[in-house]
Amino acid sequence: MQNTDVSVPMSAPTQAAQFFARRNPVWLAVMAACYLPATVLAADPSSVDLDQVPVTGNPLGVASDEMVVPVSVLGGRELSLRRQGTLGETLNGIPGVTATQFGPNASRPIIRGLDAERVRIMQNGVGILDASSLSFDHAVGINPLIIEQIDVVRGPAALLYGGSAVGGVVNAIDHRIPKESLDGYTGRAEARFGGPDNTRNGAAVVDVGNGLFALHADVYSSETSNLDIPGFAVSRRKSQADGTPRENRGKLVNSDASANGGALGASWTFDHGYLGISYADSNNNYGTVAEEAVRIDMQNRRTELAGEVRDLKGPIQKLKLRMAHTDYQHVELEEGVVGTTFKNRGMQGSLEATHVPVAGIQGVVGYQFQNTQFRALGDEAFVPNVGTQDQALYVYEEYAIGPHKLTFGGRTGETRVNSSASENFNEAFNRRFNPSSFAFGGLYQINEAWSTTINLSHNERAPSYFELYANGPHIATGQFEVGNTELKKERSNGIDAQLKWKSGGHSLTLGAYATRFKNFIGLFNSGSTRGLDRELNPVDLDGNGVADGSGEEILPEAIFRAVPAMFKGLEMEGKFALDDAWTLKLRGDYVHAKDKRNNDYLPRISPLRLGGGLDYRSGPWNARVDVLHAFKQNNVAENELKTDGYTNLSALVTYKLPTKTHVELFARANNLLNDEIREHASFLKDISPAGARAVLIGARADF
């Protein structure tokens, strides 16, 4: 363990956020709601209505019901009322989407049973750089409080946004670079209190413009306490399996957190496009529930440049540029002393050109690039320093045949993953891959109400740096992880079909998919153990780690290897307007995943889930009740415990105040049955349940 003090300078927005958080974490949000509308500009406010247009999954920007790939869009009021503390929990429950749920502070989305590198997380169409795919205790570098819209693309057709995105894409959009002309001001503020973790958070966003130039500013602050849980943290199954005592009743120890951040952006808007830049700075300090004495202190700085020029003459109609530079760092503090430091720094971006229609075919051609440097410093650095260079060309084309549509997408590129020798890694490795992927799709309009879509895809993914080069104890998973430098490109073929019905206020979507991997890269227990030359005292998540009396810690060995695998599943989502006041919503999903080499089930696959909700609206009032039932998961991998089912019943009541500024008060109750909710997809399901029954209250304002 290194005894090193890491000091990171803070920007002005972050310093301001911390100042407000120390006194009242929602001070700024309340002031923004009450003060900004009257004082930002002397002129009358100009109302700006930002439509929820799915910008992900189709570069041509069509509506979601015209898309061949399955897309879910959360934005505006619906996103505000759904927000949770992490990106994963905010999206958990969308058909096909679960979460890693490594406690309440670190949760990354899982799409159709696929996680880590196979789910590409983007911010404004550019990938994020953090360490969340490396380890499940590392939080995603995006705070949901400042996000305006989230697009979720399910399935390998998302290959246009990154060669590794065989599972799907999550694109968080924050509007920090204004893209439309604004003459006046617009913004929002929100604050909330309560919930099982005693949340105290607030956020404020404002945009000001004179028709030619637009400025953006946002700031947020959030604090939570240790999570209230129903019963014990350790599950009965784990206690019976390995004798782990059932302690910490009612509280999840070391699950509190404190986060803050802010951003400034500016853009020049003109008749046929825009050009803008933004800078964001965020901090997150939280406890890792797997180890009571360990906290993570995270800093993330991101600079973005974006521009677009439309209505060009010649073969190119539109050019779009997106770039982001990220400087990410987090330190793992053991009883206040820095143990391990992770850094990820680099540049990512894309240049995209929309061409004029040719013989009825319209589409885009693009170039993507990435150049990143990952560093791990300290005794518990289980991966070496790695540089990754990635570049690719991609194309997306559509051909309309009356109301029907054919689509094609393709991607080819080069990926270099080069490791460096260091104190813990004596040898350097250089690997080069040339992945190529493509997809064919079609939409057939049966009649005015019914349509069907189908998508066929072939996907190739270069192994990630930790799949290639890991070699050391990974305390978060309680394993000694060993990479495989001989891994080849991961190859898969998939089919995705949907049947859609839409009539008036009613809609229904039924989907089915299957993806066969020739060589699915996974982390598998080898059956061996590894001794360490120092005493780490890790949490024994699987009940396999023992001490042999020599002072060494013995961990089960897990090796990255490639196996043939099959993922298949079903998804359903429906909405039915019973009358002008009442709306019924239904949803469900199911994933079945097996290692075809020996016909074993793959680990951490979510069980069948079915849910529904009833929504009531009357004047300024809105009320809804929602229920989600997850069935028992008996289809488990070797050395994996089964998981009991649960029922999560929640309710929401909102009231819009009769004021010129759109102010809405809300109260949300979660887990009304106080059920013991353990997500099977979580590594910590048997030591970290979801929160107990609790009520959260808040206010949101748009101006």
Q: What is the CATH number of the domain that holds 33?
A: 2.40.170.20
- Rounded to whole angstroms, how far apart are CA atoms 647 and 590? 16
Q: How many CA atoms lie within 13 A of 625 on its CB side?
A: 5
Burial class (CB in 10 A: 0-12, 13-18, 19+), 240: exposed
What confidence category does residue 59 fall into, taking pLDDT thresholds of 50, 70 and 90?
confident
pLDDT of residue 131: 86
The average pLDDT across 255-267 equals 96
- Distance (Å, whole) CA 70 – CA 94: 12
Q: Looking at residues 489-508, what average pLDDT do you find?
A: 94
Q: Which residues pair with 629 in a beta bridge?
A: 610, 647
Which of 374-388, 442-456, 622-636 is predicted least confidently?
374-388
User: What is the pLDDT confidence band of residue 12, given thresholds at 50, 70 and 90?
Assistant: very low
What would the two tokens of residue 314 be? 């010649």
**Average pLDDT rounded to a whole number, residues 141-156:** 89
- The single residue listed with the structure tokens 């069907």 is 452
Does 158 have pLDDT greater than 70? no
Q: Which of 524, 544, 515, 547 is nearest to 534 (CA)?
A: 547
| Mean pLDDT computed over 2-29 | 40
In the prediction, which pLDDT does 55 show? 62
What gap in Å lies between CA 585 and CA 574, rounded to an integer? 6
Instruction: Give how many domains the chain has, as a whole number.
Output: 1
Q: Which residues contact 35 (CB under 8 A, 6 or more apart)?
A: none
Are 407 and 363 a contacting pair, CB within 8 Å? no
pLDDT of residue 438: 92
Mean pLDDT of the chain: 86
Determine, yes or no, domain membership for 7: no
- The maximal CA–CA distance of the chain, rounded, in angstroms, is 77
* Cα 206 from Cα 693, distance rounded (Å): 34
Does 6 fall in a domain?
Answer: no
| pLDDT band (50, 70, 90) for residue 219 | very high
Three-state DSSP at 341 gives strand
Q: Show the 3-state SS of 429-457.
A: CEEEECCEEEEEEEEEECCCCEEEEEEEE
Give the pLDDT band of residue 291 (cuts 50, 70, 90).
confident
Evaluate if residue 65 carries a pLDDT over 70.
no
Provide the 8-state DSSP code for 183: E
Token readout for 341 is 């430091």
SS3 state of residue 114:
strand
**DSSP string computed for 307-337:** EEE-S-SSSEEEEEEEEEEEEEEEEEEETTE
In a domain, 553, yes or no: yes
The two structure tokens encoding residue 571: 């998804």
Written as one string, the DSSP assignment of 675-701 is: -----TT-TTTTT-----SEEEEEEEE
The pLDDT confidence band at residue 34, using thresholds 50, 70 and 90, is very low
Distance CA 304, CA 172 (A): 14
pLDDT band at 176 (very low <50, low <70, confident <90, very high): very high
- The answer to whether residues 673 and 646 touch, using CB atoms and an 8 Å cutoff, is no
Residue 1 falls inside a structural domain: no
Signed CA dihedral, 28, 31, 37, 41: sign only: negative
Q: Give 673 or 78, the one with higher predicted confidence.
A: 673
Tokens 């305390």 sit on residue: 475
Helix residue ranges, H only, 132-287: 236-242
Q: Categorize the per-residue pLDDT at 54 as very low, low, confident or very high, splitting at 50, 70 and 90.
A: low
Q: In angstroms, what CA-CA distances link 89 with 17, 117, 662?
A: 24, 18, 27
pLDDT value at 690 more than 50: yes
Is there a domain that residue 2 lies in? no
Residue 674 falls inside a structural domain: yes
Structure-model confidence comparison of residues 376 and 570, the more confident one? 570
Confidence category of residue 553, pLDDT binned at 50, 70, 90: low
Beta strands in 604-656 (DSSP E): 609-618, 621-630, 646-656
Interstrand relation of 430-433 and 257-270 (parallel, antiparallel or unpaired): unpaired
3-state secondary structure 476-494: CCCEEEECCCCCCCEEEEE
- Per-residue confidence (pLDDT) for residue 600, from 0 to 100: 92
Q: Is the per-residue pLDDT at 47 higher than 70?
A: no
What percentage of the chain has pLDDT greater than the value 90?
67
Res. 53 pLDDT band, cuts 50 70 90? low
Asked if residue 373 lies in contact with residue 390, where contact means CB atoms within 8 angstroms, the answer is: no
| Phi, psi dihedrals of residue 628, rounded to the nearest 5° | -130, 125
- Closest listed residue to residue 663, CA positions, set 33, 186, 99: 33
Task: Give yes or no for residue 311 having a pLDDT over 60.
Answer: yes
Question: If you ran DSSP here, which 8-state letter would residue 290 be given?
Answer: T
pLDDT tens-digit series, residues 418-452: 998 876 677 889 999 999 999 999 999 999 999 99
* d(C-alpha 109, C-alpha 107), whole Å: 7
- Stretch 610-630: mean pLDDT: 96
Q: Is 407 a domain residue?
A: yes
The verdict on residue 4 lying in a domain is no
| Range name among 2-11, 182-191, 514-523 with the lowest pLDDT average | 2-11
Check residue 468 and give its pLDDT. 93
Q: What are the Cα distances from residue 343, in Å, to 119, 291, 314, 386?
A: 21, 21, 44, 11
Q: Report the candidate in 430, 419, 429, 336 with the shortest Cα–Cα distance to residue 381.
A: 419
Q: What is the pLDDT of residues 560-610, one digit of tens each?
A: 999 999 999 999 999 999 999 999 999 999 999 999 988 999 999 999 999
Domain that residue 450 falls in: 12-702
Which phi and psi (to 5°) does residue 28 adopt? -65, -40
- Over residues 213-235, the mean pLDDT reads 96
Amino acid type, 683 = F
Residue count (the chain): 703
Retrieve residue 588's tokens.
């469900």
Asked if residue 156 has pLDDT above 70, the reply is no
- Listed in order, strand segments (DSSP E) in 402-435 are 404-419, 430-433
CA distance to 50, 60, 69, 99, 351, per residue, from 63 (Å)? 14, 10, 12, 27, 23
Express each pLDDT in 383-408 by its tens digit: 999 999 999 999 999 999 999 999 99
Of 491, 490, 487, nearest to 561 by C-alpha is: 487
pLDDT number for residue 337: 87
pLDDT in tens, 526-545: 878 886 654 444 333 334 44
pLDDT number for residue 561 = 92
The rounded distance, in Å, linking the Cα atoms of 161 and 582 is 38
